[in-house]
Chain A
Amino acid sequence: MEAVLEVRDLKVQFFTYGGVVQALDSVSFKVNEGETLGLVGETGCGKSVTALSTLRLVPPPGRIVEGGIFLKGENLLEKTEGEMRKIRGCTIAMIFQDPTSSLNPLFTVGYQIAEPFIYHQDLKKKEAQKSAVQLLESMHIPDAERRAKNYPHEFSGGMRQRIMVAMALACNPSLLIADEPTTNLDVTIQAQLLELMKEIQRKHHTSILWISHNLGVVAEMCDRVAVMYAGNIVEIGDVKTILCEPAHPYTRMLKECVPTANQKKGELTVIPGNVPNLISPPTGCRFNPRCRETIDLCRREKPEMVELEPGHFVSCWKYPRKSEKTGSGDD
């Protein structure tokens, strides 16, 4: 299967007054065609930075220091800014957590959805507006033609999110990056949006990189999941394995510390300590100070990514390297 996006050994650092923040430490993963890869982790693990790096939108003082980002085989890090602008919003599109600040309050919704059509596909204004209305209809927004003339503040949060999805899909992107798009939505509205996203994926065969800290949403939406901690991917595999039989201690503890509505748990597992300071991260495996299964080796050396089963990769000394070949997402 051809990979739409391949990230190889990506290293991103932020050069701040307090020191150099090692935000991403050799991150590698693939998003295959037509599938949804979930990127799961807590605040500060680097998931948003990963998404922004893909679009080369890492804000200063951050910089991509090493690595490669390949979109259908082409290295995005070698492109000029002009070429990147053509890609953003067209081949790779992104939707964000807060629709309110992602939509310009001064322009009508129809105008904003038409923008990518005019900019990327060189459509005339009238045609672009028609396409915009069509897109709104496919987002199940009732009375689309009239509503295209409304302003963002006249819509509810869930609708604004759908408008943002519409804008992202205008040029039928190969890759859609969704950065916590449902975190601010009510549960029933979230369910609507998830249904919509699944429908889109079925129709257009779009690949999605879905970023979330909510394991439930990930279980709903994703085919494969990558778990991140402190700038590293610690485990990657298909959704059933990761959520039902996780191998990495962090993934296990993450699962155990989340309460669920279908069954009352006793005392929740607590991951002791705090997320590490990425200016001086722990030596060896970055999770070792908080891991309940840590051994001496964990403090000295960073574990490599090992393929436990086909498609299931872990980076943990509990699973030492068996063969010469290591990789991540290699089929």
Chain B
Amino acid sequence: MRSIQEILSSTYRIWRARIKPRLKELRLSLYIVRKSPLALIGLGIITAFLVIAVLGDFLAPYKPLAVDITNRLQPPSVQHFFGTDEFGRDVFSRLLSGAKYSIQTGVVVLAIAIPLGSILGAIAGYFGGKYDEVIMRITDVFLAFPSLILAMAVSAALGPSLQNVMLSLIVVWWPAYARLVRGQALSVRENAYIEAARSMGASRVRIIFQHILPNSISPVIVRATLEMGMVIIWAAGLSFLGFGAQPPSPEWGRLITEGRIYIFQAWWITAFPGLAILLVVLGFNLLGDGLRDILDPKLRRVIEVR
């Protein structure tokens, strides 16, 4: 039995051994981020967006579904920051409340498409041969379709709902990651540490999950951050076309499509949700660019201090 003192001291030693070296890396990352104000802006936007998505319903001054016909089509004012729509519902509240759908869709789609694509890509890249052929031909089939049409087709087939939009986006999104990871896997597998693992008797599963995937993940992370914005726009787009969220859901794409008819009389119903989408996508793009710079090993080492 180890005494409390022994446990504390070994914990402290391991803590010091693990944490201290990470601090220097962290400082370098923060330095790069600081040098790139755009990435910080992106980070700020995303953080705001996430806060709104989580707390939207609490922050909203009015209930998003609260109908008030007497106040329909009111321009932006102190009582209604973004005005009201054709049913008198507060646009601002609907915007806040709808944020969560976008983030949900983005997260769910990527959380499923990326692992699915990555594992298939890693298998194709590492094993080569028949596995590679089969998997790549399947991705070819998916990539041969114009993506938006494919998404629309799948949505239409499954029926209009936000869940089905998520499904159709997963179907459209996974092949690109399979390709990406396959490319990485092809070069990772040439490294000596893969041969070392084989010489130790590592199983193929172990090699894929412990060695190939972790080393192929960098470009995936960058791409995922950049694409989050894309997924959000597409989900909104499909909803705009009627495939996704159904009324009275305050999903942003829906908000835009509902305001379309009134665009000349009441521009605010469409404009603000549109602006919101623009800002969020911009935020993800900026963050993604900054992330790419942080993860670029060459950039990290050769930075001149004037």
**Is A60 in contact with chain B by the CB < 8 A criterion?**
yes
Q: Does B190 contact A (CB under 8 A)?
A: no
Provide the bound-state CA to CA distance between A16 and B301, in Å. Answer: 8
Query: Which of chain B's residues have a CB closer than 8 A to the CB of A17?
Result: 28, 31, 301, 303-305
Task: State which residues 141-186 of B face A: CB under 8 Å.
Answer: none
Within 8 A of A (CB), among B11-35: 28, 31
Please indicate the chain B residues that have their CB under 8 angstroms from the CB of A15 in the complex: 304-306
Q: Chain B residues near A61: list those with CB within 8 A.
A: 302, 304-305
State which residues 1-57 of A face B: CB under 8 Å. Answer: 15-17
Residues of B near A60 (CB, < 8 A) are 304
Q: How far is the CA of A17 from the CA of B306 in the complex (A)?
A: 9
Find the A residue at minimum CB distance from B303: A17
| Chain B residues within 8 Å of chain A by Cβ, number | 8
Q: List A contacts of B305 (CB < 8 A).
A: 15-17, 61
A-chain residues with CB within 8 Å of residue B304 when the two chains form the complex: 15-17, 60-61
Residues of chain B in range 288-302 having any CB-CB distance to chain A below 8 Å: 301-302
Interface size range of chain A in the complex: under 10
A-B contact count (CB 8 A): 18
* Cα–Cα, bound, A60→B303 (Å): 10
Q: Could you tell me the distance in whole angstroms from the C-beta of A110 to the nearest C-beta in chain B?
A: 34
Bound CA span A61–B301, Å = 11
The closest CB in chain A to the CB of B300 belongs to A17
**Shortest distance in angstroms between A115's beta carbon and chain B's nearest beta carbon?**
30
Residue of B nearest to A62 (CB): B304
Q: Which of B28, B302, B306: most chain A CB closer than 10 A?
A: B302
A60 to B28, CA, bound (A): 20
Shortest Cβ distance from residue B207 to the other chain A in the assembled complex, whole angstroms: 30
Q: How far is the CB of B305 from chain A (nearest CB, A)?
A: 6
B31's nearest neighbour on chain A, judged by CB, is A17
A15–B305 Cα distance when bound, in Å, is 6
Residues of A within 8 Å of B302, CB to CB, are 16, 61
B48, chain A: closest CB distance, angstroms? 31
Residues of A43-88 whose CB lies within 8 A of B: 60-61
CB distance from A286 to the nearest CB of B (A): 23
Least CB separation from B24: chain A residue: A18
B28 surroundings in chain A (CB, below 8 A): 17
CA A15 to CA B302, docked complex, whole Å = 9
CA separation between A17 and B304, bound complex, in Å?
A: 6
Cα distance, A60 to B301, chains bound together (Å):
12
A16 CB contacts on chain B under 8 angstroms: 301-305
Q: Per-residue CB proximity of B26-49 to A under 8 Å, as 1/0?
A: 001001000000000000000000
Q: How far is the CA of A117 from the CA of B301 in the complex (A)?
A: 39
Bound complex: CA of A15 vs CA of B301, how far in Å? 11
**B301 / chain A contacts, CB cutoff of 8 Å:** 16-17
Task: Give Cα distance in the complex from A9 to B302, angstroms.
Answer: 26
A210-228 CB mask vs B (1 if < 8 Å, else 0) is 0000000000000000000
Cα separation A15 to B304 with both chains bound (whole Å) = 6
How many whole Å from B5's CB to the nearest CB in chain A? 34
Alpha-carbon distance between A17 and B302 when the two chains are bound, in angstroms: 7
A15–B306 Cα distance when bound, in Å, is 8
Choose among A15, A16, A17, A60 the residue with the greatest number of B CB atoms under 10 Å from its CB.
A17
CB of B16 to closest CB in A, whole Å: 21
Quick one: which of A80-107 are within 8 Å of B by CB? none
Closest Cβ of chain A: how far from B303's Cβ, in Å? 4
CB neighbours (8 Å) of B31 from chain A are 17
Least CB distance, A316 to chain B, in whole angstroms: 34
In the assembly, what is the distance between CA of A61 and CA of B302, in Å?
8
* Interface bits B206-241 vs A (CB < 8 Å: 1, else 0): 000000000000000000000000000000000000
CB distance from B167 to the nearest CB of A (A): 46
Closest to B32 in A: A17
A261 to B301, CA, bound (A): 40
**Distance in angstroms between the alpha carbons of A17 and B305 in the assembled complex:** 6
Q: Mark A284-327, 1 if CB is under 8 A from B, else 0.
A: 00000000000000000000000000000000000000000000
- A60-B304 Cα distance, complex, nearest whole Å: 8
> In the assembly, what is the distance between CA of A15 and CA of B303, in Å?
9
* Bound: A78/B176 CA distance, A: 55
- Residues in A neighbouring B303, C-beta threshold 8 A: 16-17
B31 to chain A, nearest CB (A): 7
Closest partner residue, chain B, to A59 (CB atom): B302
**A14 CB → nearest B CB, Å:** 9
Alpha-carbon distance between A60 and B305 when the two chains are bound, in angstroms: 11
Which residue of B is nearest A60, CB measured? B304
Whole-angstrom distance between the alpha carbons of A57 and B32 in the complex?
A: 27
A277 to chain B, nearest CB (A): 14
Give residues 132-162 of A contacting B (CB, 8 Å): none
| CB of B60, distance to nearest CB on chain A (Å) | 46
Which B residues from 249 to 306 make CB contacts under 8 A with A?
301-306
Distance between B302 CB and nearest chain A CB, rounded to angstroms? 7
Closest to A19 in B: B305
Q: Which residues of A contact B306 (CB under 8 A)?
A: 15
Shortest CB–CB separation between residue B191 and chain A, in angstroms?
20
Kindly state the separation between the CA atoms of A17 and B300 in the bound complex, as whole angstroms. Answer: 9
Q: How far is the CB of B28 from chain A (nearest CB, A)?
A: 7
**Can you report 14 A-B residue pairs in the complex whose CB atoms are below 8 A from each other?**
A15-B304, A15-B306, A16-B301, A16-B302, A16-B304, A16-B305, A17-B28, A17-B31, A17-B301, A17-B303, A17-B304, A60-B304, A61-B302, A61-B304
Given known contacts A16-B301, A61-B302, what 16 new A-B pairs fall within 8 Å (CB)? A15-B304, A15-B305, A15-B306, A16-B302, A16-B303, A16-B304, A16-B305, A17-B28, A17-B31, A17-B301, A17-B303, A17-B304, A17-B305, A60-B304, A61-B304, A61-B305
- Which B residues are closer than 8 A to A by beta carbons? 28, 31, 301-306
- Listed from nearest, the 6 A-B pairs whose CB atoms lie closest are A61-B304, A17-B303, A15-B304, A17-B305, A15-B305, A60-B304
